Amino acid sequence: MAERNERADRPERTDKKKTPEQLERDNAAYDLDLLELQRVDFALVELTLYLDTHPTDMQAVQQFNQLAQRRQQLAAEFEMKYGPLMQFGHSFTRYPWRWAESPWPWQV
């Protein structure tokens, strides 16, 4: 018997009070916020690879630390607006539990 994806079987949550234009703006804001977070993540991955071979490059270390701090700030702001980015205790959540709400960051 095939496992069912219960999340896929549930209808998307909708806010009947919002107009289609408001929903589109909300989606666009979500996409832009997530894109900024992904840009910082990409730069951090690249700097990590660079620093693996150039561990004494002080400027790269400083840039890494600045971006790591920026990432924490962006992630905290994102999670306050849209819900957790990661599960298993890496992210805090608001009440009620929001992890099951869509979209998940990797679904965008």
Q: Could you read off the pLDDT of 56-97 as tens digits, one per residue?
A: 999 999 999 999 999 999 999 998 888 888 766 655 555 555
pTM of the model: 0.64
What whole-number distance in Å separates Cα of residue 79 and Cα of residue 33?
Answer: 10
Predicted confidence band at 22 (pLDDT cuts at 50, 70, 90)? low
Predicted confidence band at 20 (pLDDT cuts at 50, 70, 90)? confident
What whole-number distance in Å separates Cα of residue 91 and Cα of residue 88?
Answer: 8
**Residue 79: C-alpha distances to residues 44, 66, 90, 107 (Å):** 19, 20, 11, 16
